[in-house]
Chain A
Amino acid sequence: MMSEIFSVAFITGLIGATLRMSTPIILATLGEIITERSGVLNLGIEGTMLFGAALGFLTTLATGNLWLGVFVAALGGIALSLLMAVLAVYLGLSQHVSGLGITLFASGLAMFIYRLVVGSPIVPPVITPFTPVAIPLLSRIPILGGSFFTQYSLTYITWALIPLVSIFLFKTRAGLRVRTIGQNPFAADTVGVNVNLTRTLSLAAGGAFFGVAGAFLTLAHQNMFLIDVIGGRGWIAIAMTIFGNWNPLMGAVGALIFGFLDAFQLRMQTLGVDLPFHIFLMIPYLITILALISVSRKATVPAGLLKPYRREDKGG
């Protein structure tokens, strides 16, 4: 068995799977980082991803167009985030509760719409999913090229988004505003930055990421919609946001580690290791908790996180 683990095929397969498995988590983590940087914890993430997964799948099922599915999933994510913005930003309700409410509502809505459209057939309907795209030349690099550069388009886009989100947050006007609002909304307000609008836009951006992350699971990773398709990946993204200290690059690294563990456990199962496969399924979650413990002391939470901003509260 050890020889199998160290075989080239095993390792390249593992790398390829790691990149695939981590794609939705990276996307969701990037979205949550933008949102939390503006001072809003969006626990609606899990439900929003399921909603995106359902909308994306159903759109593609109806039209046969995968990219249209991705687009509609993003729109769905934005819509739910705007609902979150009404509750948690404009009305200033508890972010914890609003987010959980969104998750509950969105999950119900996703499954409701799915049933409404497809009914209850014995065999669930399937679509023709995205196929991996080999990048010319790079994919021919011996050994590793194939696994790194034969991925889904959405995976390539996700890689590109990691530096783009970093640049957005740290090098642009809007990014500075988002960060300032997340740290000290009063300071932003007094220099004429619209706190609630900026938070709403951050939520919307995050929501689009969540929606697409969900759609990746039904349009690329699998070819059908299952009720437990998200399987806690949204919560993992919340954990990775903390693990990455609200930094896109570090958050993505965390998501990659989770993706690796997820891919690894799948492979160990198929190798027929004599342990209940649930033990392997548990490992990624356990390691995530350990990772959180390791960074908890030096976490620098955005100072304005969880705090609604109301002007009539005398700010100072």
Chain B
Amino acid sequence: MEVSVLEKQAVIEMRGVTKRFVDVIANDKVDLKLYAKEVVGLLGENGAGKTTLMNVLFGYYNLDGGKLLINEKEVTFNSPKDAINNGIAMIHQHFTLVQTQTVLENAMIGMEGSFFLDKKKAKEKLLKIEKQFGLNLNPDALVWTLSIGEQQKLEILKALYRGAKILIMDEPTAVLAPTETVELFETLRTLVDSGHSIIFISHHLQEVMDICDRVIVLRNGIRVAERTVADTTIPELASLMVGRELLERLEKGESSIGEPVLEARNLKARNNRGIVAVDNLSFILREGEVLGVAGVSGNGQTELSEMLFGQVKPEEGEIFISGVEVPGGNPSEIIKTGMARIPEDRIATGLFMDLSVKENMILESHVSEPISKNGLINMKEIRDFAQNCIENFSVKTDGMDVPVKTLSGGNLQKVILARELVGKPKVVVACQPTRGLDVGAMEYVHQAMLDQKTEGAGVLLISDDLDEIFLLSDRIIVMYEGKIMGEVSSEEADRDKIGLWMSGVTS
């Protein structure tokens, strides 16, 4: 009896935790318990407050209300240091590694011990941990030479190096290929067996079912449900997560496939480290179809889109739009062809965050009439154009004159969609168009893509979200290490086969 009570002692308890940002409540009185040797899933869509809640637990944010208990004793965390001292480590979605330093230096930072660095002793300790958990990395390797999967291993090693007993993992599978995910799950099970507890953040339902013991669902910052995995189903979790049926009601209009509108021939490009990222890649996109480009991110999709957008000149190969070759590496030439370009990172490349909504609307049209003439800007035309865009794409904004940075993520993407699609393009290239969007905005983007196809445009959809690829595509190609692993029509596509292609396995 006593033993089971002891076992039921929560290693972590968050009681009524509230966290506010300027005018949003990110977490509203959330409760969470974590027991020893347990994997708890924290489920919710983008913006539900999962990461914020965990950053509170990690001491990165101060809490605005509620309590934090470790082993049933109340604690206050003022910085991650306090969390670390209590055996908590968090592995962020974007890795917190120093690319120019070695594996060892990254592991030992913050835990260096004496005034002078004792790298020998640190290396011994690191190698011991590597051996114990089967996470093998060369301590002297520079981080930038590691693959994404290896960098994630290093993040786990960092946590273990600090003696963490509780690991918070924020969407760890988002960057992994299916086979790497399997490997990660094995590591996590080893960790649990050796007494660790894990909080696993995800919005992938199947993964949650596979690895977790218990699931807590957040929606709009509120904890809406808790289930043990044995007592729930994927559809139930799905409806809990979004508050309604998950299935998008998309209108898949009729379209007929026609002439080629975009053709890539033997494209080759290097990434910013000089490594070949796109290798002899060819495809043809036709009118009235959606061609999905699947693949784990980091396999050359970014570089491919940058070539198509004109940002990067192909090292080899040609690009044809409506049968005409376009010069590479010149965005304005691509803009002239009327291609709609939806960039991967809307904030970094798509928008001037400090400029107004209307000034962002004219990014691509500001050199052409009637927006400007003889080098002078026509403000009335700009206002009409922007008004038209805002209305047609139902952009939610306090007018066209406010800085675009005041808009939500979904509306930022609508600004880009409006700007790109208002001119009735023949070709649409969308790179990760729904990344970071909530379900409502995602549905909007999906419908917009399908509408373009219905109206006769060819849509190239580059995405690492396999669900999205299956939902929208007529044809699917899979990229792995810059090459196309295979092509299949959506009727014949099956997830297992595509999963293998994404891992570089041809069968």
Q: Do A and B come from one complex?
A: yes
With beta carbons under 8 angstroms apart, the residue of B94, B100, B115 that contacts A183 is B100
List residues of chain B with CB within 8 A of the CB of A314: 51-52
A192-B80 contact, Cβ under 8 Å, with A187-B97, A303-B99, A316-B94: yes
Q: Which of B80, B93, B97, B158 has the most CB of A within 10 A?
A: B80
- Asked if B117 and A173 make an inter-chain contact with CB atoms under 8 angstroms apart, the answer reads yes
- Asked if B115 and A191 make an inter-chain contact with CB atoms under 8 angstroms apart, the answer reads no
Binary flags per residue of A24-52, CB closer than 8 Å to B gives 1, else 0: 00000000000000000000000000000
A192-B110 contact, Cβ under 8 Å, with A171-B116, A171-B117, A173-B116: yes
| CB closest chain-A residue, reference B96 | A187
List residues of chain A with CB within 8 A of the CB of B106: 187
List residues of chain A with CB within 8 A of the CB of B385: none
- Asked if A316 and B93 make an inter-chain contact with CB atoms under 8 angstroms apart, the answer reads yes
With beta carbons under 8 angstroms apart, the residue of B93, B110, B116, B158 that contacts A193 is B110
Flag whether A200 is at the interface (Cβ < 8 A): no
| CB closest chain-B residue, reference A183 | B98
Instruction: Tell me, in angstroms, the Cα distance from A186 to B80 when the chains sit together.
Output: 11
List residues of chain A with CB within 8 A of the CB of B81: 192-194
From 138 to 180 in chain A, residues with beta carbon under 8 angstroms from any chain B beta carbon are 171-177, 179-180
- Asked if A184 and B117 make an inter-chain contact with CB atoms under 8 angstroms apart, the answer reads no
- Asked if A192 and B84 make an inter-chain contact with CB atoms under 8 angstroms apart, the answer reads yes
- Asked if A176 and B105 make an inter-chain contact with CB atoms under 8 angstroms apart, the answer reads yes
List residues of chain B with CB within 8 A of the CB of A194: 79, 81
With beta carbons under 8 angstroms apart, the residue of B80, B82, B100 that contacts A191 is B80
- Asked if A184 and B110 make an inter-chain contact with CB atoms under 8 angstroms apart, the answer reads no
Flag whether B61 is at the interface (Cβ < 8 A): yes
- Asked if B97 and A190 make an inter-chain contact with CB atoms under 8 angstroms apart, the answer reads no
| CB closest chain-B residue, reference A167 | B116
Flag whether B113 is at the interface (Cβ < 8 A): yes
Flag whether B108 is at the interface (Cβ < 8 A): yes
List residues of chain A with CB within 8 A of the CB of B111: 191
Count of chain B residues with a beta carbon within 8 Å of a chain A beta carbon: 36
List residues of chain A with CB within 8 A of the CB of B271: none
With beta carbons under 8 angstroms apart, the residue of A173, A179, A189, A193 that contacts B60 is A189
Instruction: Tell me, in angstroms, the Cα distance from A312 to B85 when the chains sit together.
Output: 22
| CB closest chain-A residue, reference B94 | A316
Instruction: Tell me, in angstroms, the Cα distance from A239 to B5 when the chains sit together.
Output: 66
Q: Which of B108, B110, B112 has the most CB of A within 10 A?
A: B110
From 251 to 302 in chain A, residues with beta carbon under 8 angstroms from any chain B beta carbon are 300
- Asked if B94 and A176 make an inter-chain contact with CB atoms under 8 angstroms apart, the answer reads no
Instruction: Tell me, in angstroms, the Cα distance from A173 to B112 when the chains sit together.
Output: 6
| CB closest chain-B residue, reference A174 | B115
A187-B98 contact, Cβ under 8 Å, with A171-B117, A311-B60: yes
List residues of chain A with CB within 8 A of the CB of B79: 189, 192, 194
Query: What is the CB-to-nearest-CB distance from A248 to chain B, in angstroms, rounded to a whole number?
Result: 17
Flag whether B114 is at the interface (Cβ < 8 A): yes
Instruction: Tell me, in angstroms, the Cα distance from A177 to B106 when the chains sit together.
Output: 10
Q: Which of B105, B114, B117 has the most CB of A within 10 A?
A: B117
Binary flags per residue of B77-95, CB closer than 8 Å to A gives 1, else 0: 0011110110000101110
From 32 to 89 in chain B, residues with beta carbon under 8 angstroms from any chain A beta carbon are 51-52, 58, 60-61, 79-82, 84-85
List residues of chain B with CB within 8 A of the CB of A201: none
Flag whether A83 is at the interface (Cβ < 8 A): no
Number of inter-chain CB pairs below 8 Å: 87
Query: What is the CB-to-nearest-CB distance from A298 to chain B, in angstroms, rounded to a whole number?
Result: 13
| CB closest chain-B residue, reference A194 | B79
- Asked if B101 and A172 make an inter-chain contact with CB atoms under 8 angstroms apart, the answer reads no
| CB closest chain-A residue, reference B84 | A192
| CB closest chain-B residue, reference A316 | B94
List residues of chain B with CB within 8 A of the CB of A187: 96-98, 106, 109
Query: What is the CB-to-nearest-CB distance from B23 to chain A, in angstroms, rounded to a whole number?
Result: 13
List residues of chain A with CB within 8 A of the CB of B116: 171-173
Instruction: Tell me, in angstroms, the Cα distance from A248 to B292 when the chains sit together.
Output: 51
Query: What is the CB-to-nearest-CB distance from B97 to chain A, in angstroms, rounded to a whole number?
Result: 6
Instruction: Tell me, in angstroms, the Cα distance from A96 to B162 when the chains sit together.
Output: 37
Query: What is the CB-to-nearest-CB distance from B168 to chain A, in angstroms, rounded to a whole number?
Result: 11
| CB closest chain-A residue, reference B108 | A176
| CB closest chain-A residue, reference B170 | A316
A180-B99 contact, Cβ under 8 Å, with A173-B116, A173-B117, A190-B80: no
Flag whether A188 is at the interface (Cβ < 8 A): yes
Instruction: Tell me, in angstroms, the Cα distance from A179 to B58 when the chains sit together.
Output: 23
Query: What is the CB-to-nearest-CB distance from B61 to chain A, in angstroms, rounded to a whole number?
Result: 7
List residues of chain A with CB within 8 A of the CB of B110: 177, 188, 191-193
Instruction: Tell me, in angstroms, the Cα distance from A261 to B115 when the chains sit together.
Output: 39
| CB closest chain-B residue, reference A311 | B60
Instruction: Tell me, in angstroms, the Cα distance from A37 to B333 when the chains sit together.
Output: 41
Instruction: Tell me, in angstroms, the Cα distance from A292 to B74 when the chains sit together.
Output: 56
| CB closest chain-B residue, reference A300 | B100
Instruction: Tell me, in angstroms, the Cα distance from A190 to B110 when the chains sit together.
Output: 9
Query: What is the CB-to-nearest-CB distance from B329 to chain A, in angstroms, rounded to a whole number?
Result: 19
- Asked if B99 and A183 make an inter-chain contact with CB atoms under 8 angstroms apart, the answer reads yes
- Asked if B98 and A172 make an inter-chain contact with CB atoms under 8 angstroms apart, the answer reads no
Instruction: Tell me, in angstroms, the Cα distance from A316 to B94 when the chains sit together.
Output: 6
Instruction: Tell me, in angstroms, the Cα distance from A217 to B469 when the chains sit together.
Output: 68
A180-B109 contact, Cβ under 8 Å, with A173-B117, A189-B60: yes
Instruction: Tell me, in angstroms, the Cα distance from A192 to B52 when the chains sit together.
Output: 18
From 126 to 183 in chain B, residues with beta carbon under 8 angstroms from any chain A beta carbon are 158, 162
With beta carbons under 8 angstroms apart, the residue of B21, B85, B109, B162 that contacts A177 is B109
- Asked if B99 and A176 make an inter-chain contact with CB atoms under 8 angstroms apart, the answer reads no
- Asked if A190 and B99 make an inter-chain contact with CB atoms under 8 angstroms apart, the answer reads no
Query: What is the CB-to-nearest-CB distance from B410 to chain A, in angstroms, rounded to a whole number?
Result: 17
List residues of chain A with CB within 8 A of the CB of B84: 191-192
List residues of chain A with CB within 8 A of the CB of B114: 173
| CB closest chain-A residue, reference B100 | A183
With beta carbons under 8 angstroms apart, the residue of B92, B100, B115, B117 that contacts A316 is B92
Query: What is the CB-to-nearest-CB distance from B52 to chain A, in angstroms, rounded to a whole number?
Result: 8
List residues of chain B with CB within 8 A of the CB of A300: 100
Query: What is the CB-to-nearest-CB distance from B309 to chain A, in angstroms, rounded to a whole number?
Result: 25
Query: What is the CB-to-nearest-CB distance from B87 to chain A, in angstroms, rounded to a whole number?
Result: 13
| CB closest chain-A residue, reference B81 | A192
Instruction: Tell me, in angstroms, the Cα distance from A191 to B109 when the chains sit together.
Output: 7
- Asked if B96 and A179 make an inter-chain contact with CB atoms under 8 angstroms apart, the answer reads no
List residues of chain B with CB within 8 A of the CB of A176: 105, 108-109, 112, 117
Binary flags per residue of A224-266, CB closer than 8 Å to B gives 1, else 0: 0000000000000000000000000000000000000000000
Q: Which of A172, A191, A312 has the most CB of B within 10 A?
A: A191
List residues of chain A with CB within 8 A of the CB of B96: 184, 186-187, 190-191, 316
Closest 8 CB pairs of A and B: A192-B81, A191-B110, A187-B96, A316-B94, A173-B112, A183-B98, A316-B92, A190-B96
Q: A192-B80, A311-B60, A315-B92 are in contact. List 19 more A-B contacts (CB 8 A).
A: A171-B117, A173-B116, A175-B117, A176-B105, A176-B109, A176-B117, A177-B110, A187-B106, A188-B109, A189-B60, A190-B60, A190-B90, A191-B80, A191-B158, A192-B84, A193-B81, A193-B109, A311-B61, A316-B96
A-B contact list, 18 entries, CB within 8 Å: A171-B116, A172-B116, A176-B105, A177-B110, A179-B98, A179-B101, A180-B105, A183-B98, A183-B99, A184-B97, A187-B109, A189-B80, A191-B80, A191-B84, A191-B162, A194-B79, A312-B21, A316-B93
A interface list, Cβ under 8 A from B = 171-177, 179-180, 183-184, 186-194, 300, 303, 311-312, 314-316
